[in-house]
Amino acid sequence: MFQSLSDRLSGIFDGLTGRGALSEDDVNKALREVRRALIEADVSLEVVRGFVEQVRDRAVGAEVTKSITPGQQVVKIVNDELVAVLGTEAVPLDLKSTPPVAVMMVGLQGAGKTTATGKIAKRLKEKQGKKVLLASLDTRRPAAMEQLKVLGDQVGVDTLEIIKGQSAVEIAKRAQKEAKLGGYDVLFLDTAGRTHIDEELMAETAEIKAATNPHEILLVADALTGQDAVNLARSFDERVAITGIMLTRIDGDGRGGAALSMRAVTGKPIKLLGTGEKLEDLEDFHPSRVADRILG
Ligand code: GDP
């Protein structure tokens, strides 16, 4: 379905071998293909523009080494630049604080927050022997609270008792108290999402943050978000200063351009990837793998 950047560029530089450096004209032709590849990979237009300019700066006048073709040279520059923007190494979830360490999960409804909470809780319990408490703050959807309870039972970690009639902030405070009293290492606050960003969602998220001061605020976003990724990441980051991003549905058809968009506008690390519906489907983020996927 997708054409790789290498394939796109292979025709462009025919007849160029033997020259020492990439000229501005060669680079412009190549950058048109780079732009197209990034847009097809769902990178936001705003981010594509900035990124292409960065690549141009590095590519014009770059020496073409004898061992590779000019096309390969451009692919290498694009790849290096992608990894530089995505982050050169994986940044793990930071739980180095006095327990119970609160991790707040934010994002739109259906992004995969609750599933992500279950996945991370499972990993922390099984790989690090952490005592984990889960709390759903979704007061509008009783089904979401039940869903978290079912996941907690599946994983074998505790969920905060559901008491009807409390506000999200009240539940969050109760969860913190319970986590402290119960000697928990980590507390997950699974916030309510909406189908789109609105003032009510942002105000509630900010209020929960102010009341609980979480150590990590993880924005959970669907990898297929596309052009909205920039707006989504910027809105949450401006309002609650996220500490990291988890991209879900990496197992889908998309190329994950949202990773580049979100990282570029917030500068916040992508920490984790959701790779399927099962609780085991959780991976650390590796910039080079995502860069390869974006370029095809
Ligand atoms: P929330 O509203 O943000 O809490 O989203 P949920 O956790 O309820 O997830 C919504 C749907 O997406 C569920 O059907 C999940 O099974 C599914 N889902 C979550 N993460 C992934 C993932 O990484 N890959 C796939 N294929 N599906 C996922």
ipTM, interface predicted TM-score of the complex: 0.99
pLDDT at 227: 87
Higher-pLDDT residue of 66 and 133 is: 133
pLDDT at 7: 82
Q: Are 248 and 222 in contact (CB under 8 A)?
A: yes
Q: Are 5 and 75 in contact (CB under 8 A)?
A: yes
User: If we measure between CA atoms, which residue out of 115, 116, 188, 129 comes closest to residue 158?
Assistant: 188
Higher-pLDDT residue of 274 and 69 is: 274
The reply to whether 108 sits in an annotated binding site is yes
Residue 1 scores a pLDDT above 80: no
Sign of the Cα torsion 97, 100, 106, 110 reads positive
How does pLDDT run across 17-28, given as a tens digit for each residue? Answer: 555 777 888 888
How does pLDDT run across 213-243, given as a tens digit for each residue? Answer: 999 999 999 998 888 899 999 999 999 999 9
Residue type, 52: V
Atom nearest to 248 CA in ligand 1: 23
Average pLDDT over residues 170-195: 96
The reply to whether 109 sits in an annotated binding site is yes
The reply to whether 281 sits in an annotated binding site is no
Q: How many other CB atoms are found less than 10 A from the CB of residue 66? A: 8
Q: How many other CB atoms are found less than 10 A from the CB of residue 233? A: 24
- Band the pLDDT of 14: cuts 50, 70, 90: low
pLDDT, the chain, mean: 91
Pairing of strands 270-274, 282-284: antiparallel
Most informative mutation of 277, 279, 282 for ligand 1 (most atoms within 8 A of CB): 277
Average pLDDT over residues 75-90: 90
* pTM over the 0.80 mark: yes
